[in-house]
A and B are shown apart, each in its own frame.
Chain A
């Protein structure tokens, strides 16, 4: 392996890989903190990816695609909000059925609206344009990866900070965490648990819609069936690994994005893609096991 192995393209791929997972993981972080286990991230992301393409195809502009992705993500997560936050159904069963519903619905609409199966793409469609951050973009190696990305990538970085500050430094964040940790006490102090859970779920849906937007209009302009390919589940794993602390969760997302890019890079070196495609999942599993073992040992030591 030479120095050129980790070239500018590698880091660009990594940043592109991190963004959708990071956006979904922020949605998962908020959910986790308010006491909901959101495993519907995958489905919400897929719906967002489809809506982005449908919105920009039928609306004719990039803006309609963006709006459609956010709206569809939020709307779809509304099912989870109603079922889980309002009616108190089991969030795991609702999550599983929402993920399967998203896969079925997007496949159906792909055929019904566009008359194709597999992949839809439209040459007139615009992807999110890349913006250049002067100064950063010209740095060697990491420059293009950090300074020449689309607005959504920068937005995802800002969101981490915003959510961290919101959770830890604002009264609403305090109430939100209180509902997650001690719902009885938080409600006794006047926090409306149902309302918080409802709103958090909808915001999470919108974030997952953006994650989907990044997948379908971020670097490519196409939708293909099940294009989320487990990213929503990797986001769930990132939330677990980072214990729903925004900065730690981001760290986990960076790890997964790097392993994704590493897989692509090894494929470029001639390894079969059926094997290299497994890289992010294997790294995620390995990280879960290592952190799990460590936590067990620490718990045993303190007990």
Chain B
């Protein structure tokens, strides 16, 4: 390869990354200004943020946080690849987690069977709930953007009701189900760290999504639609079936993550506990950052997981509210979108 060839190769590979790096820089800049405005030293804030994300045991915290976040990112990325937005991941997550808890608690079967059935139940409920939104668009033209978001409220309400009344464990202060037996939990993957076997499941899902995206006709048709829906239709892509498939897959992953969080780290379904860390929020932004490309989305999810963990440390040591990292994430995407770097208008 000649020097020019190498240079064009590099520009082609790295060119699309430049606006992203620029946006990340702007995000940090804006947050620095906000910190200054409320009377804090930005340099101190950023060192605490980075140290809190990767230093010592904090690194394992980041990895543990990256597991659900990467899952929710994939749940957002699959539809995004086809130009579809699923804003209802929180509802699918809550229903999946709640269903998994019920199965793991009450299915009369050996522990390991209960564990497997709970994971499948979480996926199934999440997928079916997302399919409701897909059906709304296919049969009545209700935009997914709107229906997915509106459907989160009844889902969260239903789970909140269930753990307050029929499923309530009366020994806890906060509304939640009883604790799941040790045998029906996802065990620790690296003892002494918060990383559980859910890590392996999410890695498997990520590899599968990346493979399907790159190597199968399903992935090709998804990308085709994302680039140009009319062309995809003309090219023979069955758009309605694709919409349904995309939502089933996205909802299944969100439901699975709910199940993993319940079975792997919380051991019970507690009202609001799955949605409080706002993984669906960060996941949507991470997927947008990578334009729905699955590998890029997972990398963005790792970055955002580090920001979240760092945010906790920053809040502890310099008392800067950690929601600032949420502001940072939104500003990055906002800036990219304003520049037209995501989904350029046709």
**A residues bordering B, Cβ < 8 Å?**
39, 79, 82-83, 87-94, 96-98, 100-101, 103-105, 107-108, 111-113, 117, 229-230, 233-234, 236-237, 240, 272, 274-275, 277-278, 281-282, 284-285, 288-290, 292-293, 295-296
Q: Which residue of B lies closest to A102 (CB)?
A: B330
Asked, given contacts A83-B338, A272-B161, A274-B160, whether A97 binds B149 with beta carbons under 8 Å apart, the answer is no
Q: How far is the CA of A234 from the CA of B151 in the complex (A)?
A: 12
Query: Which one of B147, B330, B345 contacts A101 once the chains associate, using CB atoms below 8 Å?
Result: B330
A97 B285 Cβ-Cβ under 8 A: yes
A229 CB → nearest B CB, Å: 8
A296 B140 Cβ-Cβ under 8 A: yes
Q: Which residue of A lies closest to B343 (CB)?
A: A90
Q: Which residues of A contact B151 (CB under 8 A)?
A: 281, 285
A90 B340 Cβ-Cβ under 8 A: yes
Q: How far is the CA of A91 from the CA of B340 in the complex (A)?
A: 10
B161 A292 Cβ-Cβ under 8 A: no
- B344 lies within 8 A of chain A by Cβ: yes
A96 B140 Cβ-Cβ under 8 A: no
Interface 9-residue window, one of B106-114, B184-192, B225-233, B320-328: B320-328
Interface residues of B in 277-329 (CB under 8 A from A): 281, 284-285, 288, 321, 323-324, 326-327, 329
A292 B334 Cβ-Cβ under 8 A: no
B324 A108 Cβ-Cβ under 8 A: yes
B323 A96 Cβ-Cβ under 8 A: no
Q: Which residues of A contact B329 (CB under 8 A)?
A: 100, 104
Q: Which residues of A contact B147 (CB under 8 A)?
A: 285, 288
B136 A97 Cβ-Cβ under 8 A: no
B323 A97 Cβ-Cβ under 8 A: no
Query: Which one of A89, A92, A234 contacts B338 once the chains associate, using CB atoms below 8 Å?
Result: A89
Q: How far is the CA of A277 from the CA of B139 in the complex (A)?
A: 27
Q: How far is the CA of A94 from the CA of B327 in the complex (A)?
A: 14
A93 B342 Cβ-Cβ under 8 A: yes
Q: Which residues of B contact A79 (CB under 8 A)?
A: 334, 338
Q: Which residue of B lies closest to A276 (CB)?
A: B157
Q: Which residues of A contact B142 (CB under 8 A)?
A: 285, 288-289, 292
B34 A108 Cβ-Cβ under 8 A: yes
Query: Which one of A88, A92, A101 contacts B85 once the chains associate, using CB atoms below 8 Å?
Result: A92
Asked, given contacts A83-B334, A97-B334, whether A281 binds B285 with beta carbons under 8 Å apart, the answer is no
- B26 lies within 8 A of chain A by Cβ: no
Q: Which residues of A contact B333 (CB under 8 A)?
A: 93, 96-97, 100
B165 A272 Cβ-Cβ under 8 A: yes
Q: Which residues of B contact A112 (CB under 8 A)?
A: 38, 321
A90 B154 Cβ-Cβ under 8 A: no
Asked, given contacts A96-B87, A104-B330, whether A230 binds B153 with beta carbons under 8 Å apart, the answer is yes
Q: Which residue of A lies closest to B151 (CB)?
A: A285
Q: Which residues of A contact B340 (CB under 8 A)?
A: 87-90
B203 CB → nearest A CB, Å: 27
B145 A92 Cβ-Cβ under 8 A: yes
If A107-B321, A277-B153, A285-B136 are given as contacts, then 13 extra A-B residue pairs at C-beta distance below 8 Å, sorted by A number, are A90-B337, A92-B85, A94-B338, A96-B87, A97-B288, A100-B333, A107-B326, A113-B38, A240-B143, A272-B161, A288-B140, A288-B147, A292-B136
- B164 lies within 8 A of chain A by Cβ: yes
Q: Which residues of B contact A93 (CB under 8 A)?
A: 288, 333, 337, 342-343
Q: Which residue of B lies closest to A293 (CB)?
A: B140
A82 CB → nearest B CB, Å: 7
A-B contact pairs, 20 of them (CB 8 A): A39-B145, A88-B345, A89-B340, A90-B345, A93-B333, A100-B326, A100-B329, A104-B327, A105-B327, A108-B323, A108-B327, A229-B153, A237-B146, A240-B146, A277-B153, A278-B154, A288-B147, A289-B136, A292-B141, A296-B139
